[in-house]
Chains A and B, each alone.
Chain A
């Protein structure tokens, strides 16, 4: 099948599946907090506020239905993190999974890192489809045999059994973060990874849990002087010495670990100059970067702030090369968005497989795609109303002027409780996973 590509002009998106409860009464634990495809796209992991991880596996394409790619069905589910209590500070440590990152597959098992506010865990997910039978000393049900009845010696053999998928925690990386961990990123060397909290970034070796190196520390000596926090971190996709971190002030710093052990001095700083005349109370808040993602090529990076998505060329620090407005109509609603805290919502963003299209979420269960080549964008909606199998999604439009056309929705009718913060794009195909508050939608490109 052709890889991800083509502009939004020729790609039509169809509903494929939706996971989760239908009822409107959402338990807090069911709120989805992260969504991530693995490197092949065969597995799709979600994390929720209740500390649980659910992994879906794509069924192999069936010959009966060549027009649609395999469905995702539950492969494994486990409790990754549990609530804890910090006795020293009398603070609750939430079990909510903030991020999941897959390791590239090296053998039959799959590995992923999952983190809550304080602890990162490495999980091994392995399959078992055979079991040994014919023990000399044990019965088949496990009871030990009476030794007097054992008269012959046999070699146990492996026989097939129903597939069992087991998840086991292989490493627990704890006690390295005073503040709340907001992101993790696995290095292309597959040996190390970064974890970032509001003020510090630590470098870990995947094998070693009792030690980590602090490589960025922006904590001021006097906390009264605190002006910015770290919001996200990511390793470069193929340069194992390079990583970037974004801040609440809208800057991105690129660091080279070869330069020194402590990367407080950045190698590059990406920041778009602001017109001082336009500055308002909200300027800094809406410039806070909620997500940063390198392109697959490693040449570009994308940042998401409250109202826009920006694409930066790593060779140019002075300004982004592309800026896409996600929901500019919200600029005249900032006062109420500040009052209901929505202005602090952290939206994520993602690239498609060949870096030609980027996607991010919005309110009212809308999500947006921007085609960089064709200079087109589309707004789609994840809702149960459009959930007939293989039904094509109709583009949505928000009306900003006085006159509202038919099928348009006015800004004041938008439901700000229906936010799409987490989206993921299959690394190779046009398959996307979009998380509403408690449901996971999977959409696929319409194939003829």
Chain B
């Protein structure tokens, strides 16, 4: 763990580390102490199954598909404030059929990289 930031190293670690370690806590370990101080309930197996399983289940969970469609419609309305509603019926007046729901399509705006 060299202090210099841009030193290119070969596989041999600098022997300086061994000497320094005896006297001073490595920066990694002092960072660990900081973290444990802030979050005393942190488990001791950081790379363990909890972290990995959280990673496996990435992606926002919705209660059901209706919840998902509502969320998408809300986002779409925010992005296109000038778009007029296609139907003027107030929700709650009738049970919507699949044809009534707004199309769950992503924004058809082209990428700005192509602009």
Contacts and interface: CB of A to CB of B under 8 A. Distances in A.
A225 B52 CA distance: 10
B35 A90 contact: no
Chain B CB count within 10 A is highest, among A52, A83, A277, for A52
Interface in B45-96: 46-49, 51-53, 55-65, 67-68, 72
Nearest to B115: A21
Given A20-B112, A30-B111, A325-B2, A228 B52 contact: yes
A323 B64 contact: no
Interface string B3-43: 11111111100000000010000111111101110100010
A117 interface: yes
Interface residues of B, number: 57
Contacts of A334: 27-28, 31-32, 35
B11 A320 contact: yes
A10 B59 CA distance: 46
Contacts of A323: 9-11
Contacts of B29: 280
Given A77-B111, A376-B8, A438-B112, A281 B49 contact: no
Given A79-B106, A92-B59, A224-B49, A277 B5 contact: no
B31 A29 contact: no
A90 B68 contact: yes
B94 to A, nearest CB: 24
Contacts of A282: 28, 31-32, 46
B28 A226 contact: no
A333 interface: yes
Contacts, number: 177
Contact of B30 (A92, A223, A285, A332): A332
A335 B40 CA distance: 13
Contact of A285 (B4, B47, B62, B110): B47
A331 B4 CA distance: 11
A248 B52 contact: yes
Contact of B55 (A79, A229, A375): A229
Nearest to A372: B8
B114 A335 contact: no
Given A30-B111, A282-B46, A377-B6, A91 B106 contact: no
A319 B12 CA distance: 10
Nearest to B71: A92
A79 to B, nearest CB: 7
A160 B56 CA distance: 52
B11 A91 contact: no
Given A85-B68, A91-B61, A248-B47, A329 B5 contact: yes
A52 B114 CA distance: 10
Contacts of B110: 52, 77
B3 A277 contact: no
A50 B49 contact: no
Interface in A76-90: 77, 79, 82-83, 85, 87, 89-90
B21 A277 contact: yes
Contacts of B2: 325, 328
A259 interface: no
A278 B8 contact: no
10 contacts: A30-B112, A48-B113, A54-B111, A179-B56, A226-B56, A229-B55, A285-B46, A288-B47, A377-B6, A397-B6
Given A29-B109, A82-B106, 18 more contacts: A29-B106, A30-B113, A32-B113, A50-B111, A90-B67, A92-B59, A95-B106, A223-B49, A225-B49, A227-B49, A229-B56, A278-B28, A282-B46, A288-B47, A319-B11, A331-B27, A332-B30, A333-B31
Interface of B: 1-11, 21, 26-32, 34-36, 38, 42, 44, 46-49, 51-53, 55-65, 67-68, 72, 104-107, 109-115
Interface of A: 19-21, 29-30, 32, 46, 48, 50-52, 54, 74, 77, 79, 82-83, 85, 87, 89-95, 117, 179-180, 198-199, 223-229, 248-249, 277-278, 280-285, 288, 319-325, 327-329, 331-335, 338-339, 370, 375-377, 379, 397-398, 400, 438, 440
